[in-house]
Amino acid sequence: MSHPCFVIIPLFIILQFSVIEFVNGGFSVNLIHKIPASASSLVSKDIPQSPTNAYLGHYLMELNIGTPPVKIYGIADTGSDLTWTSCVPCEGCYKQLNPLFDPTKSSTYSNISCQSDQCLHWLDTGKCSSNNQCDYTYAYASASVTQGILAQDTITFISATGKPVPLQGVAFGCGHNDTGSFNDHEMGIIGLGGGPISLISQIGPSIGGKRFSQCLVPFHTDVSITSKMSFGDGSEVTGDGVVSTPMVIKEDKTPYFVTLNGLSVGSTYLPYDSSSKSVSKGNMFLDSGTPPTILPTKLYEELVDQVKKMIALTPIVDDPELGNQLCYRTSTNVDGPTITAHFEGADVQLNPIQTFISPKDGVLCFGFTNTSSDGGIYGNFAQSNYFIGFDLDRHTVSFKPQDCTKQQ
């Protein structure tokens, strides 16, 4: 798999950190499945929040780990479960600008024993080290890998009122051999999927429920502009303009599966599968760790054809760096059509700011690509400028259009 960063390489070879294969009516996930963890109860009703900013095709989410708290910036990834960061020592790890987390400097850090339920049941590859530690290996579809020790420590959020919200005993991966196509700002991955080891599954019982919300700023936004991810009771997406679609529960609990009935380009409707009278439930999942939206080839080609018809510019055909992507030479945003994603019970309108991305100066490319499988992925380009709520208790995903650069 190639680097997931859209800005560095062409969209047609960008894939995600999580799942891509659709077989036997469900996605085949190249990840590890775990059991629930416990975290200490909150003494405050303040809503835990985390600053998030756009950087090179990913969203970097700030977490504070340890005592005293140390800031780490990990990829916010709703397509995987394990939260991990590179730890000292990490001689084989990719280059990072920020200091690595040093577990010896945290008074609340502890390794998880390899005889524990966490090691035995959470980690399919968990095994004992010579020091009775739980060694893990966690691999992603991008061919990136983290290897290290399963540990636990206090994670501290900052609430909207500025108060610290500490959560004790949160399990995470302390990576000592982390490889892959990460950039030097990325210190790990924050696993926000629905599996038992994910951050939200672990802390949900302590913060009023397994739910969280995000508002992702568009990638053209200055990197200094942050938005917030909110967790637990009070993070729900409510108010005028909210639409909701049901999550489709499958054996694999990590991805947030939803049903996409079709897409509209302006007034032209394109059914998800024109060869079938019924749409397969759970044919898409939302993944903040994947930049483009990935569609089955037939639907993607129909979509591109319709978009071309509604843009007056001539597509680029002579740039080998861009491959077969639909791209235009322009210094301003493309005057393109509104694309509506028709989820079950929820129509989500996408404007050019969410559907065209600049891989290099003077070029804008369509933020969709294709797969040979029957399932798709709703990527982070399309999720920007929407207040999106994931409610694991009620099994719903909610959308509300919002300028995320002005999120309070």
Task: Tell me the C-alpha distance between 28 and 45, whole Å.
Answer: 38
Question: 404, 53 in Cβ contact below 8 A?
Answer: no
Task: Tell me the C-alpha distance between 391 and 246, whole Å.
Answer: 10
Task: Tell me the C-alpha distance between 107 and 248, whole Å.
Answer: 41
b/e sequence 134-154, b meaning 16+ C-beta within 10 Å: bbbbbebbbebebbbbbbbbb
Question: 109, 151 in Cβ contact below 8 A?
Answer: yes
Name the burial class of residue 179, with classes exposed (0-12), middle (13-18) and buried (19+) by CB atoms within 10 angstroms of its CB: middle
Residues 153, 252, 287, 391: which is the catalytic one?
287
Helix (H) / strand (E) containing 256: strand 256-258
Tokens of residue 19, six digits: 């799942």
- What SS3 state is found at 363? strand
Residues 77, 81, 153, 252: which is the catalytic one?
77
273 catalytic, yes or no?
A: no
Question: 290, 18 in Cβ contact below 8 A?
Answer: yes
77 catalytic, yes or no?
A: yes
CA 34 to chain CA centroid, Å, is 19
Which positions are annotated as active-site residues? 77, 287
